[in-house]
Amino acid sequence: MGQTIIEKIIQNHTKEDVKPGKIVWMNLDIRSARDFGGPNVVKNYEREYGNAPLAEREKTFFTFDLCVPACSLKYADNQQVCRQFAKKMGIKVFDVDSGIGSHVMIEEGLAQAVSTVVGTDSHLNILGAVGCFGQGMGDVDITFAFKTGKTWFEVPETLKIVVKGDYAFPATAKDLTLYVLKKLGTHKAALKAVEFYGEAVKDLSLSGRITLCSMVTEMAGIIGFVPETSDSLREEVRELSGSEFSPLQPDEDSAYSDELEIDISGITPQVAAPYSPDNVRNISELKGVKIDTGFIGSCTNGRTEDLAQAAQILKGRKIKDGVTLKVVPATKRVYKEILERGILEDLFRSGAIIGSPGCSGCAEGHVGLTGEGEVQVSTGNRNFAGKQGKGQTYLASPAVVAASCLAGQIVSPEDL
């Protein structure tokens, strides 16, 4: 029997026979911790291992992306704890100016196809976008990984999803993603690896793949892959990461737990209503919901292409009085690109606030929090009750968030 992508990647990192349901010990290529989780990793490490060396310091990183630069004394302390440990151990810190760790790892070529990467970020499986097995873990797992370079993992079953049909603006990669989440809910892909097929996903750019793969977490899946690639995608990843992009393909006779078809033909923009990401509706059902704030960013929609999509709508227009729009680039590199391409100016002139690169509101960072009664429309990936504050969060594409901030209510870009 052949192997699926996840089985092949794990097989590349263990001597044991890999099959779904089996727990194996797996070698890790990269292990990382953030400014949340990181201080606990340091505390665990020093308690369990004292000053003993890490397995491989050159494969171990801190990526600060949560509260950057620190906006509370606690985070300032926690970041400093990590910096001091990093200095002592000789490991690199991507500090508070870098941006979202998972994105930095793609840009730096650390997260490569067929590699294994763990860290204290539950959306680290976005690395599936570049054919890499990324997995978020807790601080005990990550401490153990720092010391041993290994982890145990139950080989997941793989679900095959064929996305049929195509979409066109005002629908975007985010709407495709939300629509797939609507169809899968939190049951169908639970605890599984997912392989997405079909022309529409094959044609996704890196940023679109990141959007799709990031929300496999909300589908309760382990990781998502898009095996088929276009020439332009391979070129895009090579240019960004500085190395060849050659993701694995599954064997022809590999076994899937199930095969599902999702037809996205002619979808309209999709919006997830409070308080769960899979509570997805067609925008027509939510049109007219008054909003107070907009947020564009996060590991799901914080790339240059996402911000450009918003800027195209905002250019030459003004955000409605009384509405605030917060924009946070995923990384410093994205910040540089939007600066050089004039996107930053378009956003600024429309009245948007630009935050420093990072995760922002999703994890109680400093941008994108809501007060009681506040209604936010966000390009993030989670809208659980209380997550970004006491307000209500709707999840949508950068285009819908931009349009809604101009209108002061949820609208599709075509309604402007």
Interface with another protein (CB under 8 A): 23, 25, 36-37, 39-40, 43-44, 48, 72, 74-75, 78, 120-122, 136-141, 143-144, 147-148, 150, 152, 154, 186, 190-191, 220, 222, 276, 363-364, 382, 384-387
Which CB, 140 or 339, lies closer to another protein? 140
- How far apart CA 58 and CA 66 sit, in angstroms, is 23
Q: Is the distance from CB of 223 to CB of 194 less than 8 angstroms?
A: yes
Q: 416 is written with which tokens?
A: 């402007």
Residue 351 CB, shortest distance to another protein, in Å, is: 29
Which CB, 89 or 190, lies closer to another protein? 190
Q: 288 is written with which tokens?
A: 């007219």
* SS3 state at 144: helix
Task: Return the number of other C-beta atoms located less than 10 Å from residue 318's C-beta.
Answer: 12
- How far apart CA 35 and CA 94 sit, in angstroms, is 10
Task: Return the number of other C-beta atoms located less than 10 Å from residue 55's C-beta.
Answer: 16
Which CB, 163 or 359, lies closer to another protein? 359
Which CB, 10 or 171, lies closer to another protein? 10
Which CB, 45 or 335, lies closer to another protein? 45
Residue 108 CB, shortest distance to another protein, in Å, is: 21
- How far apart CA 164 and CA 239 sit, in angstroms, is 30
Q: Are strands 23-27 and 150-154 parallel, antiparallel or unpaired?
A: antiparallel
Q: Is the distance from CB of 209 to CB of 129 less than 8 angstroms?
A: yes
Residue 310 CB, shortest distance to another protein, in Å, is: 26
Residue 156 CB, shortest distance to another protein, in Å, is: 8
Which CB, 358 or 413, lies closer to another protein? 358
Residue 356 CB, shortest distance to another protein, in Å, is: 19
Q: Is the distance from CB of 164 to CB of 129 less than 8 angstroms?
A: no
**Exposed, middle or buried by CB within 10 Å (0-12, 13-18, 19+), for 376?**
buried
Rounded to an integer, what is the distance from CA 23 to the centroid of its chain? 26
Residue 34 CB, shortest distance to another protein, in Å, is: 9
Which CB, 119 or 398, lies closer to another protein? 119
Give 216's Cβ-side CA count (13 Å radius).
33
Residue 39 CB, shortest distance to another protein, in Å, is: 6
- How far apart CA 28 and CA 286 sit, in angstroms, is 44
Residue 377 CB, shortest distance to another protein, in Å, is: 20
Which CB, 144 or 197, lies closer to another protein? 144
